[in-house]
């Protein structure tokens, strides 16, 4: 991976996970700066990772080759407005803020940004993320490669050709951990109703989910439907449970939920 100076502006949990992945992969600590307006939080980054830390986002951005914009969407306009003195012409900007388009970010900055937009998800916090990336045609191959490698420090990456594809990433990966948590929560509650204590019920469910996910990863050439069929004996307990899901139209419900996520992502783009 090319070694550039990186400033994480608005260093929170997602920035922490990316920084941790970079350091673990051997990226030079002296080329990374974490910026947080709270001195205690910025100092914690320095102490934990041995990187540079600052409360001054403007100066950190000026000195960086790559600026990762990690503030919450509602704080992005104020942040970029405060950076009018930053010369963005030779920098790569990476935004991990949801709901703000490339054109809107450039408008906020008052200048065209050389920008890659990223939609990570929370499993990035444990190195198992799935991030969607979009870059306009004006972004160079080298900058695209760097952005992809940066996010690969916390999991897998997927490039989309159109910016609207980021909303599809939100539906399929960004919001998806919550879908699985909801399903697992329902299973745990029923296991408890059937007599298991809370700890055992959770362990049963989480290990089944982990094992199923690992089977999917270990068998990339086998369709998900086939994996399901391999577990389902005709007339057996699994078949009976799946009949209930099918009768309750689980597939249609999942489809409607993902479409709702896309619609909300589109609505959010008009809020900023």
Provide the token pair at 178.
């919550």
Query: Does 21 carry a binding-site annotation?
Result: no
Asked whether residue 247 is marked as a ligand-binding residue, the answer is: no
CB 131 within 8 A of CB 155: yes
Terminal-residue alpha carbon distance, the chain: 34
Q: What is the largest CA-CA distance in the chain?
A: 70
| 13 labelled ligand-binding | yes
CB environment 213-228: b (16+ within 10 A), e (fewer): eeeeeeeeeeeeeeee
> Quick check: 137 and 228 in contact, CB under 8 A?
no
User: Is 176 assigned a ligand-binding role in the annotation?
Assistant: no
Backbone angles phi, psi at 64, to 5 degrees: -95, 150
Displacement of CA 196 from its chain's centroid (Å): 34
To the question of whether residue 96 is assigned a binding role by annotation, the answer is: no
Measured CA angle at 10 (ends 7, 15), to 5 deg: 70
Residue 146 neighbours by CB under 8 Å, 6+ apart: 1, 2, 4, 66, 92
- Is 10 flagged in the annotation as binding? yes
111 token code pair: 């200048």
Nearest-CA neighbor of 169 among 99, 113, 227? 99
The Cα 71–Cα 48 span in angstroms is 21
Q: Which residues define the annotated binding site?
A: 9-14
Q: Which residues define the annotated binding site for NADP(+)?
A: 9-14
């Amino acid at each position: 991976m090319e070694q550039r100076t990186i400033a994480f502006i608005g260093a929170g949990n997602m920035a922490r996970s990316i920084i941790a992945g970079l350091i673990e992969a051997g990226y030079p600590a002296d080329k990374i700066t974490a910026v947080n307006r709270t001195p205690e939080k910025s100092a914690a980054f320095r102490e934990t990772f041995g990187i540079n830390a600052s409360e001054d986002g403007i100066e950190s951005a000026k000195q960086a080759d790559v600026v990762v914009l990690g503030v919450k969407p509602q704080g992005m306009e104020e942040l970029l407005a405060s950076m009018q003195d930053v010369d963005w012409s030779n920098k790569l900007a990476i935004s991990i803020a949801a709901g703000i388009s490339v054109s809107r970010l450039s408008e906020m900055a008052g200048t065209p940004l050389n920008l890659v937009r990223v939609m990570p998800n929370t499993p990035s916090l444990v190195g198992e993320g799935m991030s969607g990336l979009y870059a306009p045609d004006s972004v160079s191959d080298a900058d695209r490669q760097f952005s992809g490698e940066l996010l690969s420090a916390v999991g897998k990456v997927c490039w989309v050709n159109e910016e609207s594809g980021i909303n599809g990433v939100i539906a399929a990966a960004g919001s998806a951990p919550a879908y699985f948590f909801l399903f697992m929560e329902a299973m745990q509650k029923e296991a408890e109703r059937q007599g298991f204590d809370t700890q055992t019920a959770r362990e049963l469910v989480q290990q089944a989910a982990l094992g199923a996910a690992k089977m999917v990863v270990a068998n990339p050439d086998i369709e998900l439907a086939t994996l399901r069929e391999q577990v389902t004996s005709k007339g057996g307990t699994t078949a009976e449970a799946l009949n209930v899901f099918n009768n309750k139209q689980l597939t249609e419900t999942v489809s409607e939920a993902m479409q709702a996520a896309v619609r909300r992502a589109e609505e959010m783009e008009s809020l900023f």
